[in-house]
Structure 1
Amino acid sequence: MARDNPITRRKTLKVTGAAAATALVAGCSSDDGGEGNGDENGGDGGDSYEIEAGTEIVLYAETSGWQGEEPSDIADTTNPTLVLTEGEDYTIGWNEGDGQTHNIEIWDENDEVIDDLSTDEASEGGDDQFLEFTASSDMTTYVCNPHQTSMIGDLQVE
């Protein structure tokens, strides 16, 4: 049986660490302008999705995070970052969920609801869980208030 050589083990760890660091940097340095698949573990993978004016943004309400459904660019992305055009109209909300109580709100940088853009809490989605709004620069996030630590996505208004 071969002896455990600490020098060999140290070299192996250094190579493994360098490989892991390279993979980490490669995986986090991409911002493809909205054509990637996003980060499925919380939405901070750097990908953002430019949303065309007049689009209805449909999400699936799940306590672990908003899951993108429509438009197709955001499908299967957790808490996608949405890039909106200032002064343009949009709709955002959810039709289906995990059966827990959810709502959707649009917040400013102080975590306050903007212009009463908030739905009542409900365990089922539908028409009353959609918000129609005109994008403004003070909008920073869309949030489920009962699950605001996990169901929160960024809004970039340009």
Structure 2
Amino acid sequence: MARDDGRSRRSALQLIGVTAGLALVAGCTEGTGDGEGEPDQNETDESVTNETDLDDPDPPESDRDEWEDVSTIEFEADTDGWIGRQPAIIEDEENPNIVLYEGREYEFQLTNGDGDVHNLALWDETDPVVASEFLEDEGETATFVAEATDEMEQYLCETHEDEMAGAIELRSE
């Protein structure tokens, strides 16, 4: 009796051989299959930190010198977040971190940018240290002066505290 399946068996073996060869070339047989294997000698581990990262666990986004001469901080209030207006370091930034020097007086100005009710408050861990009045009309402004104290941790709008808040970094002279 003659065998007809020899050709299909041979084709199947060739297909398996080609597939295994391609998988080997593509690297599909290496590692655990989860894509999270250890880097080989040609790859780098992106989680490694450099010495600069280790020196300061939360490095400020701006240079120390840029904040030394700041005496006025201006924000535009929008329900989506505070928009920095002055100093230039925070211009057009949403909910920017700000730097204050302990013992210095700062003028804070806010402008209502969307006609919703807003105020600007500087908070410690749990309570306001100082706050502006509430503004209801678009374009309305409020200004207040506050001395930077070691208890200040954040600034926020007390009617939109989840969307409108930023950190205060306090430095000593």
Q: TM-score, normalised by structure 1?
A: 0.66
Larger Cα-atom Rg: 2
Alpha-carbon distance between aligned partners in 2 of 1:59 and 1:118, rounded to the nearest angstrom: 12
Going from structure 1 to structure 2, the CA distance change for 1:82 and 1:49 (only over 3 Å counts) comes to farther
Q: Secondary structure at the match of 1:77?
A: coil
Q: Secondary structure at the match of 1:76?
A: coil
Task: Name 1:140's counterpart in structure 2.
Answer: 153
Alpha-carbon distance between aligned partners in 1 of 2:139 and 2:123, rounded to the nearest angstrom: 20
Q: Deviations over 1:112-135 (max 9, x none)?
A: 121x433224233444x2221111
Matched, 1:97 2:125: no
Q: CA RMSD in A?
A: 3.8
Find 2:73's aligned residue among 57, 67, 73: 57
Alpha-carbon distance between aligned partners in 1 of 2:162 and 2:65, rounded to the nearest angstrom: 21
Find 2:128's aligned residue among 104, 110, 113: 113
Task: Name 1:22's counterpart in structure 2.
Answer: 46
Q: Quote the sequence identity (%).
A: 27
Q: Secondary structure at the match of 1:60?
A: strand
Task: Give, as a single letter, the amino acid of the residue that structure 2 aligns with 1:22.
Answer: E
Q: How far did residue 56 of structure 1 move? A: 1.3
Query: Which structure 1 residue ranges, 5 or more long, are not aligned?
Result: 36-47
Q: TM-score, normalised by structure 2?
A: 0.61
Task: Name 2:28's counterpart in structure 1.
Answer: 8
Q: Secondary structure at the match of 2:81?
A: coil
The one of the two structures with greater contact order (alpha-carbon pairs below 8 A, sep at least 6) is: 1
Alpha-carbon distance between aligned partners in 2 of 1:151 and 1:61, rounded to the nearest angstrom: 8
Alpha-carbon distance between aligned partners in 2 of 1:88 and 1:102, rounded to the nearest angstrom: 25
Alpha-carbon distance between aligned partners in 2 of 1:98 and 1:49, rounded to the nearest angstrom: 33
Q: How far did residue 12 of structure 1 move? A: 8.9
Matched, 1:152 2:172: no
The number of aligned residues is 139
Going from structure 1 to structure 2, the CA distance change for 1:117 and 1:155 (only over 3 Å counts) comes to same
Paired residues of 2:75 and 2:82 also in contact (CA < 8 A): yes
